Amino acid sequence: MLTKYSKATFAVLLIPSVSYASEGEHHDDHHEHGENKIEKIQVTASRLGRIVTKSATRTEIINAEEIQEKALMRPGNISMLVAETGGVRVQNTSPALGSANIRLQSLYGRYTQLLSDGLPLYGGQTASIGLLQIPPTDLANVEIIKGSASSLYGGSALGGVINLISRTPSDEFEGEVLLNATSKNGQDITSYFSSPINETTSASVTAGIHNQEQQDLDNDGWLDIAESQRVTVRPRVYWENESGGNLYVTFGAMKEEREGGTEDGAAVPDGNPFKQNQDSLRLDSGFIFDQPLGETLTVNVRGSAMSQEHDHINGFVEDNDTHESYLLESSVAGYSDNIAWLVGMAYQSERFHSEEFSEFNYNYQVPGLFSQVDYEASDDISLSLSARSDWHNEYGTQFSPRISLLYSPENWIVRGSYGQGFYAPTPFIEDIEDAGLSRLAPFENIEEELATTASIDISYIVDSVETSVTLFASNVENVTELEVINPLDINSDKQVRIVNAIGASEIRGAELLLRYRWRDLKLTGSYLYTDATKKNETGIGRVPLTLTPKHSAGGVIMWEEHGSHLVGFEAYYTGTQYLEGNPYRDKSDAYWHLGLLGQITVGRVSYFLNAENLLDVRQTKNESLLLPEQSPSGRWTTDIWSRNDGFTVNAGIRIQFGS
């Protein structure tokens, strides 16, 4: 836990990136206990306002150094970047397409809101495949809030927020190109360039080309790694006026073709081929405008639009659909000596349109009002209160409060938080996202999903040692899940339906973290304990949540001399998990993931070599992913509880330009 936040920290702390506070030009940039409690720290990502020195809302930071290391391991997407953070688990949701979502403290991945510079550029309800379509090339920081953040970001943040903070241009031209190739026949080319245009305007552009050839590692005719080709481009423009106003504008485009399922000439157990393909085209845009009003007020206006077209093939079923997401928001923030506040209004829209399965089309319109107050009672005690009211056109009025407390005497930091939130259900729970809509019955009497989350964390920081322990708890009501339809209940070809689960899912757990730095050596260790259960089908008694390990741990040791070399070793342990719908077993094996990274830098050129999964862990070594017969939902595979890629080596070169 950080006692002093970096410039990029604050985009995720507040109502989307609206920072508040003092007229920083009239204060020092460094105030500690006993001095002025208000400090101007400009958000690097969007050049917005200022904020209180300490926030009661806990935000975990993946800094630029860690991002650079993980970008060498997986240049094509951010899955590894977030997966190796304590309390964060990347869960594979489609063995055919390789898609995955992000689970924060064991809450379902659909509850995690993924933002870019505080904007939902990947959609208010990000599809699982989106995680694999975002390269880390242009990231400066990644910021994570765990637990319900609906009071800050609305219904899509029921489980928390991951905010991807992009680099901002410096005063001189700079850039980099990264070339990467893997032993599994994958290739990546990514680039980032930025430059000032004039005294008030600067710009950057990020682009990437990614290719992955299909891999059937166990020679059973089913692809363990899907074939994919993807291109991405994202320009950004930054402008500042003489009165301190800032404008940030971005556009993005991504096109991908992904092919999985059976390879050519192969068949599933019923004797037929079963292709699972998805072609995607995403276009998005966003802006943030921030203008001081006098000495103590700031007005912020922001908006975003996203459209993503999918062409699906699931066996013999084809479907074309479109996901759209829109946001328009305005807020005013102010401060006094020990109080910072903001109030605002937002309008969010989520739309889904399918040509073949129009019964699942939805158009969610959600106006809302939000507010937040941060109060510094003393040098050691701070309080943050936030609340949001949303008027959902399908699920009615939703009220989402959150309270956070900070107590920070000397080297200790103690934080507590409590929050409530909601999530508007869609058809796209994990099984359906993988299998498609063809066997799903239309929604009937589905209620919104509701969560209550709480946590307390205690950190002790002295010199170069940081230790922390976090206790967390969540109760989630009305969880949507898949149910097999009794053939006598319905007279159609639909075999499954989505229902609200009986009772609440209860998640309890603890995180332990240790960080130590000595000269050029950095050591990180973490452990996560989770006890996650739900009511069984009869409503009597409880059963463990599937795909949720009770014990997981990790350790990383990194030796780095900037501008010269880097050597790192990592080890991650995943404990046993309960499984559902798997005819081969009811419980997974525990496994280790080991990795080794090396980099040598000569001038502006870095050469890197990375070896992942040194123990060659692969689920298909134990049993096939293929089911003996097709499941009622239409899937032909079990869930992935382990890894499906085996031992992999990647190597490449990074070339830097300019400053």
Q: What tokens does 246 get?
A: 């800032």
**Tokens 């639909």 appear where?**
494
The single-letter DSSP state of residue 75 is T
Residues ≥6 apart with Cβ < 8 Å to 118: 11, 12, 16, 17, 45, 46, 163, 288, 302
- For the cut 70, the answer to whether the pLDDT of residue 15 exceeds it is no
- For the cut 90, the answer to whether the pLDDT of residue 475 exceeds it is yes
Distance CA 525, CA 466 (A): 11
| pLDDT band at residue 64 under the 50/70/90 scheme | confident
Residue 377 phi/psi, 5° resolution?
-70, -35
Q: Is residue 397 part of a domain?
A: yes
Q: Is residue 1 part of a domain?
A: no
Backbone φ/ψ region at 359: left (φ over 0), alpha (ψ -120 to 50), beta: alpha
Instruction: Provide long-range contacts, Cβ within 8 A and 24+ apart, for 482-489.
Output: 482/429, 482/431, 482/432, 482/633, 484/632, 485/441, 485/632
Distance CA 470, CA 414 (A): 10
- For the cut 90, the answer to whether the pLDDT of residue 467 exceeds it is yes
**Tokens 């000439």 appear where?**
265
- Quick one: average pLDDT of 326-340? 91
Q: Other C-beta atoms within 10 Å of 504: how many?
A: 19
Query: E strands of 262-411, at which residues?
Result: 275-293, 297-314, 317-335, 339-354, 362-376, 381-392, 396-407
Q: Is residue 102 part of a domain?
A: yes
Q: What tokens does 224 get?
A: 């363990």
Q: Is residue 220 part of a domain?
A: no
- Quick one: average pLDDT of 351-367? 95
Q: Give the pLDDT score at 488.
A: 65
251 touches 203 (CB < 8 A)? no
Does 123 or 327 have the greater pLDDT score?
Answer: 327
Q: Is residue 160 part of a domain?
A: yes
637 touches 96 (CB < 8 A)? yes
For residue 331, what are the domain limits?
7-213+225-363+372-658
Residue 71 phi/psi, 5° resolution?
-65, -25
Q: Give the pLDDT score at 127.
A: 64
Residue 209 exposure: Cα atoms within 13 Å on the Cβ side: 3
Distance CA 180, CA 430 (A): 31
**Tokens 């005497």 appear where?**
409
- Quick one: average pLDDT of 183-207? 96
Q: Is residue 2 part of a domain?
A: no
**Residues 302-325 pLDDT 10s:** 999 999 999 999 999 999 999 999
Q: What does the H/E/C string look like for 205-266?
A: EEEEEEEECCECCCCCCECCECEEEEEEEEEEEEEECCCCCEEEEEEEEEEEEEEEEECCCC
**Residues 173-183 pLDDT 10s:** 999 999 999 99
**Residues 515-531 pLDDT 10s:** 999 989 999 999 999 99
| pLDDT band at residue 491 under the 50/70/90 scheme | low
Kindly report the CATH number assigned to the domain that includes residue 570. Answer: 2.40.170.20
**Residues 536-566 pLDDT 10s:** 887 788 999 999 999 999 999 999 988 899 9
Distance CA 319, CA 257 (A): 15
With 0-12 / 13-18 / 19 or more C-beta atoms within 10 angstroms meaning exposed / middle / buried, residue 326 is middle
Across the chain, what does the average pLDDT equal?
Answer: 87
**Tokens 């290391």 appear where?**
69
Residues ≥6 apart with Cβ < 8 Å to 595: 73, 568, 569, 570, 571, 610, 611, 612, 613, 614
- Quick one: average pLDDT of 407-428? 93
Distance CA 14, CA 142 (A): 15
With 0-12 / 13-18 / 19 or more C-beta atoms within 10 angstroms meaning exposed / middle / buried, residue 217 is middle
- How many Å from the N-terminal Cα to the C-terminal Cα in the chain? 31
What DSSP string describes 7-45? GGGGGGTSGGG------GGGS-S---TTS-SEE----TT
In the chain, the number of structural domains is: 1
Q: Give the pLDDT score at 429.
A: 87
Give CA angle at 85 (12, 639), nearest 5°. 110
Residues ≥6 apart with Cβ < 8 Å to 643: 591, 593, 613, 617, 618, 619
